Every structure is written in C-alpha cells, then in structure tokens.
Amino acid sequence: MAQHPGDFEQILVHTGQHYDANMAQVFFDELELPMPDVHLDVSSGSHAALIMPRFEPVVDYSCPGSYLVVR
C-alpha cells in the first residue's frame, strides 16, 4: 500500500497494549513500519473494553472502506 500512495490512504492505529520497548517499538523498528498516526494508549486491563471505545472515534472520523488488523 505504501508503494501506491495515490491508490490508498493509510492510517496506522496502535493500541498501545504492549508499551514496553521490547514488545512494541522493536516491531516498528525491525519491520521498518512508520510511526502510528493514532495511538490509543491502552496499556493494561480488559483490552477489548478499552480499545473499542477509543477506536470508534477514529473510525467515525476517517470512514474507512476496509480494515487490516494485525495481531
């Protein structure tokens, strides 16, 4: 998608579930991923209960045609 910027608009959302550098930043660095456009700042607790209310405004604002979820 990054190789075809005129065809796609990407928004990278990071949940923040893994806030330790060894569990988060290392993936961005090693996979050469761009920094997230949106960081939901979810760190602990019931992740689904925290992620969805924080993700919904992102969806409402950006009105995406599709989603790609990487876990």
Condensed to tens digits (0 to 9), the pLDDT of residues 9-60 reads: 888 998 877 766 677 788 888 888 888 899 888 876 666 778 889 999 999 9
The reported pLDDT for the residue numbered 60 is 92
> Encoding tokens for residue 42?
């979810």
pLDDT at res. 10? 86
* pTM score, whole prediction: 0.74
Count other Cβ atoms within 10 Å, centred on residue 50. 18
Q: What is the pLDDT of residue 4?
A: 86
Q: How far apart are CA 15 and CA 13, in angstroms?
A: 6
